[in-house]
Structure 1
Amino acid sequence: MESPGGGAEARARSRQYDYGANSNLVVNTGSRPRCAHHEPTGEPQTLSGRIRARSFGDRAVRAKPPGLEEKRGRSRGKTARDAASADLPHRDAKRMRRGSVRHEDSVLSLAHDALYKPRTRATRTAYEALLSVIQQQLGGQPLDVLGDAADEVLAVLKDDRTRNPDKKKVIEKLINPVSGQMFHQLVSIGKLITDFHDAVNSAGVPSVDGTDMPLDDDIGITVEFEEDEDEESNLYQGPTLDVQDIDAYWLQRKISQAYEDIDPQRSQKLAEEILKVIAEGDDRDVENRLVTLLDYENFEEMMSNPRLAPILEQLHATRASAKERQKNLERSIRDEAKRLLNNDSAGTDGARDSKTVDIKSGWFKGQRQLLDLDNLSFHQGSLLMSNKKCELPPGSFRTPQRGYEEVHVPALPPMPYESSEKIVKISDMPEWARPAFAGMTQLNRVQSKVYDTALYKPDNILLCAPTGAGKTNVAVLTILQQIGLHMKDGEFDNTKYKIVYVAPMKALVAEVVGNLSARLKEYNVTVSELSGDQNLTKQQIDETQIIVTTPEKWDIVTRKSGDRIYTQMVKLLIIDEIHLLHDNRGPVLESIVSRTVRQIETTKEHIRLVGLSATLPNYEDIAVFLRVRSDGLFHFDNSYRPCPLAQQYIGITAKKPLQRFQLMNEICYEKVMAAAGKHQVLIFVHSRKETAQTARAIRDTALANDVLPRFLKDDSASQEILCAHAELVKSSDLKDLLPYGFAIHHAGVLISTATLAWGVNLPAHTVIIKGTQIYNSEKGAWTELSPLDAMQMLGRAGRPQYDTHGEGIILTSHSELQYYPSLMNQQLPIESQFISKLADQLNAEIVLGTVQNAQEACSWLGYTYLYIRMLRNPTLYGTLSCKSVG
């Protein structure tokens, strides 16, 4: 009879043969023995017959360690490959130290935005030749523009599907028309650049395994180096520290591991003692005390890691309470103050008693503080914007365009005349003062309002007026006031006084010397230039009544104690363009004024201070700085401009450098065409080479669009005159452009550099500043146009005799679209840059002898414009809030 469980047993028997049940079992076949012949059986075996006595040492060889030889072989192979291929980026990377490296732009380096980077010496030479050709076509442009243009030109030259004539047309659209010879030169250069496609394909493309390609060294990468074996042997080889394992009780756990049966309270107390020892003692004392605490074996086990001590010191600081941290900080400051005090008094006849130290002697009680002047200074320089927003006059509007944005500011209507206002005529002036205004019939509105104070009073004056308002005539009035004080019986005694006229630029100094010499000839006054290019002997200074100089030169003169005999004879100090305080050169002006004011208070002899400035919002602060009272403060906004100025600010929003450059040329052409045939146009560029290139680009574009007659009619007499004069011109560029009404320093469409703005007064109805990036040779980089130059350039817009208003246009980047409207519309406060030169200026006063202790140094600081602005705007300067000056 069948068992009741037979079905289950049958299933179990069948399941034992399933794959899942026996897949991990080892089956021994009959043909394969369990132990192979080469496997040891564990039984003793004899070596008889297997080895011989002569065979001992027969395989010994003399050789160097294989790892070292392999390493040297790799190094020699790498050097050979580098020499053969001259792989420039890799070679430059080897020269770097560890860390992120970032190169500054230089004339030969590539722009950061450039796509192509040469990889060998041969391709780099060819690429530099290509950049040279492009620079000839585009002029002195920033490196990003040249690099972007080179990428575009190379992309055209490397396109095998395009024929050479078509390539030439495309290249001419990119970098202006090129001759056939130059195009063949470009083609030859393109053939020498053999790694263009490799560089383009590898730029920013991830690798096959998903990791990013290594960045170029110009952008900034972390470079790893192989360490020398000797250096590695000296490094700490013990266990590493995991930052995540270290907490407030990490040291207690280490102590518990070192001392197996230690009590938890004893472990905590020992940890606190260790932290206290590390925080208080010097290195040698700490080591000795720790050995005493821990015993040598435990010290060696716990403290052998050199990275442990600073971690424990920081751990002790974090475990301390807020009160303890404050106490430790105060103790460290006191210790540092004692150390400095001991160092200062070490060279004297005896140590100073800290109890006798007081402010009167110039030594402070208690602690001293160290200030990081570099962090407190404004690294933006003249481009500093302390205003958060710019409020433009009513009627202003913005117009977004493709690739750029325009801001239009209408011309302000002239300020209506007041009932009591009258214009001073030259015939109403004293007879002895009239020769200085020969050829004039009357003064303008600004000059008439300042007339009485300037000519008849000795008070200090601050005149803030728009460019072209005639501030030079106000300076002449103050000079006449000083000359009149030394007039007796119609004769002038010019040996009793000296006048100093401080102008910001050498070119302006020469112009002022010529102007004043001609106007004051009737008074037998000698006007001399004192600048970096022109020095005066003591005899010449004795014979000179008016010294026209730059701020830096006069600062040097007043620093010398031996020249005090000349500075004490100064009765009038005129500072032109005093808003230069906002510039990097501002500290020199602050030093001159503060030194002069202190001289006045010391000698009790009055020196009249006259400041001439453009319109600015915080003119009251400068008035306080110059010690100007309310009756000597004159402020005139743009409504007093002789010819009202309409303004346009165009910010380029295009991202690619070459596209920005081309768009700027197009906008410049459009603005010129808007005034062509109606008004004269003056275009300011920032290099001599770019003057001719800009004029040629506008002429060629107008010729292509068949609008050239709008500049100069074909049958006009002006064209015949220009053609005749063109034959006499030596400049080939000017000879080519002059017959079309375009010129460099010509009155049709005039393209010039900033030198014209500071030289001859040659206004035009429309002034265009083409770009605000200018190359600074001192910094070796491209920087923004200085506000002084920008204001002077736009000051040439409008001719009062012919125009009802002028028009000023600035082409700039979109990021500067708030700065220039703020500058030209009295929205940019004048700040002090004195902190950046505080140490130098203080040292100068100490050497001069005017500052001899700390109290006098603090007193001297109170005479600076920095002190006034700190009181007005303590947040900007990082000082505590206090009451403003009155």
Structure 2
Amino acid sequence: MTNQNVRLPQGTVKKTFKGYEEIHVPVPKKKVDPSEPGLMPTSALPAWARAGFGTSQSLNRIQTKCYPSAFEHDGNMLICAPTGSGKTNVAMLTMLREIGKHRDPNTGDINLDNFKIIYIAPLKALVQEQVGNFGKRLEPYGIQVSELTGDRQLTKQQIAETNVIVTTPEKWDVITRKATDTSYTNLVRLICIDEIHLLHDDRGPVLESIVSRTIRKQEQTGDPVRIVGLSATLPNYRDVAAFLRVDPAQDLHYFDGSFRPCPLRQEFIGVTDKKAIKQLKTMNDVCYNKVLEQVGQNKQQMLIFTHSRKETAKTAKYIRDKALEMETIGQILRVDAASREILREESEQVGNADLKDVLPYGFGIHHAGMSRADRTAVEDLFADGAIQVLVCTATLAWGVNLPAHTVIIKGTQIYSPEKGSWVELSPQDVLQMLGRAGRPQYDTYGEGIIITAQSELQYYLSLMNQQLPIESQFVSRLADNLNAEIVLGNVRSRDEGVDWLGYTYLFVRMIRSPGLYQVGADYDDDETLEQKRVDLIHSAAMVLEKANLVKYDKKTGRLQGTDLGRIASHYYITHNSMLTYNMHIQPSVTPIELFRVFALSEEFKYIPVRQDEKLELAKLLQRVPIPVKETIDEPHCKINVLLQAYVSRLKLEGLALMADLVYVTQSAGRILRAMFEIALKKGWASVAKDALDLCKMAEKRMWPTMTPLRQFPECSGEIIKKAERIDVPWQSYFDLDPPRMGELLGMQRQGRQVCGMVAKFPRLEI
């Protein structure tokens, strides 16, 4: 979605070169408002609240302006401000406001049993970062901060002891979909949603679902829940504020690019070459020129973001080799002998071969595939100024705070396993990477350079100049989200469904831009779009009924959930996948066929089989234990093979294939659990047993023929090999003492260790 008529700031310059063109956007001027009060010192906070701000002497401009509505009122808030401008501290003020309500002013004691605070961040890396940040700052109040994501579950006991839960949108949606967890969801008094501009993203419907459920419930029960939205700068912030029920006069705060701690000078480079190989060469040459200009002439450090792990090393080597060839390497390397010596010594210590190769020349690489030690070494060397150019993947932008004067985004296409193709970078990724440009303590401005194809130039120009409105993606997930509300008992009829739609961002946008959302002339007299909402709910209910997820009485409009609907809602399964499972899971289905049914899930419908993967897939097909009926050309075969390769712990080569494997296995747990529950509900014991076995195989990455000892990381490969070679049933292991165990395995010394591990297994008698 591009704004063709993007208005660029005054002073924008366009330059044309062979193979590409450049557009330079100047640094925005800081706006000075004479009536603006000075920065608020932290000493002006109540004495008990100062501990949350550590050694900070004052709030910044944004925090000072937001202070009255954040700390002195309880209204819902929306704060739109550039990345890195301190929005998190505004969230911190709202948290302290909530904590203060449960604090006894005489004793200073805080009643921790009366409230919970939820902080929602879009990525696990951000969740972990915020757990560390809030955990440290709220420690003086005795407040426990915990992470709740797909990787990290919390027990009921841990949840009871936690006051601030940092989680992802999907995880919080799943939790609030279950009526069983109300014991603590009813205690939630504040929800902070970071990056709420993700409403525009494929994951936007999840945020709409959470907010509409929260506000509707609050209006029905009267329990006060404050919602605080944090977002990047966007043009239609008033729409987002209306969706969050924010008072625009008091609690809506909008700050443009001039409020960035280090204003950004932007450069957009559109590559005009059409052939992929030429495009890549031009991009590499542009990177080399920019390194020479920024690092060589201006003596500034630089981050270059690429979109695959292999590309980090390829880019670093290309620039290094060209600098050697053109005899310009001396301009890039630091001249002092001490720096060169440090780089030489460090290059001998690191394990990664590519890093070893480029480090002596002042280049570094950084990606998630490197060892923790290598990544830390690179981070430290860059922070100390020894590495001049760091080529990395986006993980560095989200996880580690390493700013540089100049940031280049080299190419804007990334592989998306959900779509099964290469797609443009999401706006939040671009903003996050460019958020690393400029070091507030040293620079007056930072430089952000985006290198993309000529055809995408308009899109990034409008994105970076806050002219891309945020739209709703809710219609794409309407049926599944309606099902969740029906299962919860929040929507029991078509009319209640219409009411619920009135709480969504979709509703706000349909009223503002009817043309974009197929609201035709026949709805002109309908100011609240009631008939349009009736039509949407009716269509969604028909779809759900066809999949057996709800019972829908078209005459009375009554909506009633089913067991299958509950399974779909609790395991986050789409209605189309449920339709597939319903059709294929029969009483006679075999374990081999269950693998096939898994591969038919709608979640994987866009995963293609690429020409360059066929050879590797054919090899994998011969190595996996369960036969696959389809041929290698069919996507279902690929998904089946990937799941089995994951269980078998086989190594994969290609980048896209690895991304597909991660995507398939991330969804495997919940899909297989749902298949197990379907079989259980239908009363098919043997199918349920097979499905449960399949769940355990995927979770533990083990086949039934493997020894259960594989579940212990400390168990040596030698013991596992011996245990799998001898033909002794697992039950017999429980009856052996250490000497006999050692004898059985032919490893006398390890008998005691193996007995210790066996003793940890439960013995179930039924």
Return the offset for 1:420: 3.7
Partner Cα distance (1:801, 1:509) in 2: 26
Is 1:803 matched up with 2:424? no
In the alignment, structure 1 residue 698 sits paired with structure 2 residue 330: no
Q: Secondary structure at the match of 1:441?
A: coil
Paired letter, 2:265: A
State the alpha-carbon separation in 1 of the partners of residues 408 and 33 from structure 2. 31
Does residue 728 of the first structure (1) align with residue 349 of the second (2)? yes
- Give, in angstroms, the shift of residue 422 of structure 1: 1.6
- Tell me the equivalent position of 2:304: 683
CA contact (8 A) 1:872 1:884 kept: no
Distance (Å, rounded) in 1 between the aligned partners of 2:330 and 2:89: 42
Aligned pairs for 1:337-356 (under 5 A) are: none
Structure 2 counterpart SS, 1:767? strand
Partner residue in 1 for 2:682: none
After superposition, residues 360-371 of structure 1 pair within 5 angstroms as none
The offset of 1:415, in angstroms, is 1.6
Which structure 1 segments of 5+ residues have no match?
1-383
Query: Which of 434, 447, 451 is equivalent to 2:50?
Result: 434
Larger Rg: 1
Deviation of the 1:884 alpha carbon = 7.8
| 1:713, distance to aligned residue in structure 2 (A) | 3.9
How far 1:427 sits from its partner (Å)? 1.7
Q: CA deviation at 1:773?
A: 0.9
Cα shift at 1:714: 4.7
Q: Deviations over 1:176-226 (max 9, x none)?
A: xxxxxxxxxxxxxxxxxxxxxxxxxxxxxxxxxxxxxxxxxxxxxxxxxxx
TM norm structure 1: 0.56
- Distance in 2 (CA, whole Å) between partners of 1:644 and 1:549 is 31
Q: Does the 8 Å CA contact 1:404/1:650 hold for their aligned counterparts?
A: yes
Deviation at 1:885, TM superposition (A): 8.5
Q: Which residue of 2 aligns with 1:604?
A: 222
Aligned residues: 502
Equivalent of residue 710 in structure 1, options 326, 331, 340: 331
- The residue identity in structure 1 corresponding to 2:22 is E
CA contact (8 A) 1:774 1:783 kept: yes
Q: 2:473 matched to 1:827?
A: no
Q: Which residue of 2 aligns with 1:486?
A: 102
CA drift at 1:716: 2.8
With 507-516 and 722-731 compared, the bigger mean Cα shift is at 722-731
| Matches of 1:434 and 1:789, distance apart in 2 | 33
Corresponding residue for residue 734 of structure 2? none
Task: Note the alpha carbon deviations across 1:332-366, whole angstroms, 9 max, x for none.
Answer: xxxxxxxxxxxxxxxxxxxxxxxxxxxxxxxxxxx
Q: CA deviation at 1:614?
A: 0.3
- CA deviation vs aligned residue, 1:601-630 (integer Å, no higher than 9, x gap): 010111000000000000000000000002
- Matched residues in 2 for 1:715 and 1:614: separation? 41
Letter in 1 for 2:12: S
Unaligned runs of 5+ in 2: 367-377, 383-387, 530-766
Q: Report SS of the residue matched to 1:487.
A: coil
Q: Does 1:762 align with 2:378?
A: no
Distance in structure 2 (CA, Å) of the matches to 1:744 and 1:504: 26
Please tell me the residue identity of whatever aligns with 1:676: V
Give the C-alpha shift of residue 715 in structure 1: 4.4
**Equivalent residue for 1:445, pick from 40, 61, 81:** 61
Task: Name the structure 2 match of 1:874.
Answer: 514
CA deviation profile, 1:834-866 (whole Å, cap 9, x unmatched): 010011111111111111111111111110000
Aligned partners of 1:872 and 1:885 also within 8 Å = no
Q: In the superposition, relative to structure 1, how do residues 470 and 713 fare at CA in structure 2: closer, same or farther (>3 Å)?
A: closer
47, 55, 76: which is aligned to 1:460? 76
Q: Distance in 1 between matches of 2:149 and 2:30?
A: 39
The one-character-per-residue Cα deviations of 1:88-123 (angstroms, maximum 9, x if unpaired) are xxxxxxxxxxxxxxxxxxxxxxxxxxxxxxxxxxxx
2:26 to 403, 410, 414: 410
**Which residue number in structure 2 is paired with residue 572 of structure 1?**
190
- Distance in 1 (alpha carbons) for counterparts of 2:274 and 2:332: 33
Q: What code does the residue aligned with 1:711 have?
A: I
Report what 2:270 is aligned to: 651
Opposite residue 611 of structure 1, the aligned amino acid is G
CA distance in 2, matches of 1:818, 1:617: 16
2: CA distance between counterparts of 1:398 and 1:822? 16
After superposition, what is the alpha-carbon deviation per residue over 1:394-451, rounded to whole angstroms, capped at 9, x for unaligned? 1113222222121211110112143342201112211111111112111110111011
Q: CA deviation at 1:454?
A: 0.9
Q: 1:483 to 1:771 in 2, by over 3 A?
A: same
Matched letter for residue 15 of structure 2: T
Shift in Å, 1:732: 1.7
Q: Structure 2 length normalisation: TM-score?
A: 0.64
Answer whether contact 1:616 1:830 (CA < 8 A) is retained.
Answer: yes
The answer to which of 415-424 and 725-734 deviates more is 415-424
Q: Is the 8 A contact 1:868 1:885 kept in 2?
A: no
Match of 1:740?
A: 361
Distance 1:709 1:395 in 2: 34
Identify the residue that residue 398 of structure 1 maps to in structure 2.
14
8 Å contact 1:699–1:708 — kept in the other structure?
yes
Aligned-residue RMSD, C-alpha: 1.5
Q: Which residue of 2 aligns with 1:582?
A: 200
Give, in whole Å, the separation in 2 of the partners of 1:557 and 1:476. Answer: 24
Q: Is the 8 A contact 2:4 2:458 kept in 1?
A: no
Distance 1:814 1:735 in 2: 35
In structure 2, the CA distance between the partners of 1:875 and 1:690, relative to structure 1 (3 Å rule), is: same
Distance of 1:443 and 1:738 partners within structure 2: 40
Runs of 4+ aligned structure 1 residues displaced above 3 Å come to: 880-886
Conserved? CA contact 2:365–2:392, under 8 Å: yes
Partner of residue 130, structure 2: 512
Among the aligned pairs, what percent are the same residue? 58
Contact kept in structure 1, 2:303 and 2:392, CA below 8 Å: yes
Question: What corresponds to 1:141 in structure 2?
Answer: none
SS at match of 1:492: coil
In 2, the alpha carbon distance for the partners of 1:406 and 1:649 equals: 6
C-alpha spacing 1:417/1:885, structure 2 compared with 1 (3 Å): farther
The answer to whether the 8 A contact 1:463-1:634 is kept is yes
Displacement of 1:659 in angstroms is: 0.8
> Which residue of the partner structure matches residue 76 of structure 1?
none
- Asked if residue 536 in structure 1 is aligned to residue 154 in structure 2, the reply is yes
The 2-side partners of 1:805 and 1:714 are apart by 25
In 2, Cα distance between equivalents of 1:884 and 1:873: 13
Pick one of 753, 756, 763 that aligns with 2:393: 753
> Contact 2:334 / 2:362 at 8 angstroms: preserved in 1?
no
Distance 1:715 1:638 in 2: 37
* 1:410 counterpart letter in structure 2: P
SS in 2 for 1:499: strand
Q: Alpha-carbon deviation of 1:584?
A: 0.3
1:796-822 deviation per Cα after TM superposition (whole angstroms, max 9, x unaligned): 111111111110000111111111111
